[in-house]
Structure 1
Amino acid sequence: MKHTVTNTKTSTPINGRVNDLHKPRSARTGKVWLVGAGPGDADLLTVKALRAINSADIIFYDQLVSEEICALFPKDTPALYVGKVKNNHSIPQEDLNQLLVNQAQLGLNVCRIKGGDPFVFGRGGEELLELRKAGVEAEVVPGITSASGCSTYADIPLTHRGIAQGCTFVTGHAEKTLDVNWNALAQLNHTLVFYMGLTRAGDISDNLLAGGVAADTPVAIIENGCRKDQRDIITDLANFPVAVLREKVKSPALIIVGKVVNMKEQLQVEAWIKEAQLSA
Structure 2
Amino acid sequence: MSTDYQRARAELGRKLRELRVDSPGGRLTGTELAERLRWPQSKVSKLENGRQTPTDDDLRAWAEAVGQPAVFPELRARLKGFESHIRSWRRQLAAGHAPVQETWNSLVGESRTLHVWDSHVVNGMLQTADYARSLFECLAEFRSSPRDTEDAVRARMKRQEWLYRPGKQLNVLMWESALRAQVCPPEVLAAQLDRLLGVVGMDTINLGIVPWDAALRLLPGNSFWILDDRLVTVEDWHAELWLDDAETIALYRRVWDTFAESAVFGAEAQQVIARVRRSIRD
User: TM (normalized to structure 1)?
Assistant: 0.28
Larger strand proportion, structure 1 or 2? 1
Larger helix proportion, structure 1 or 2? 2
User: TM (normalized to structure 2)?
Assistant: 0.28
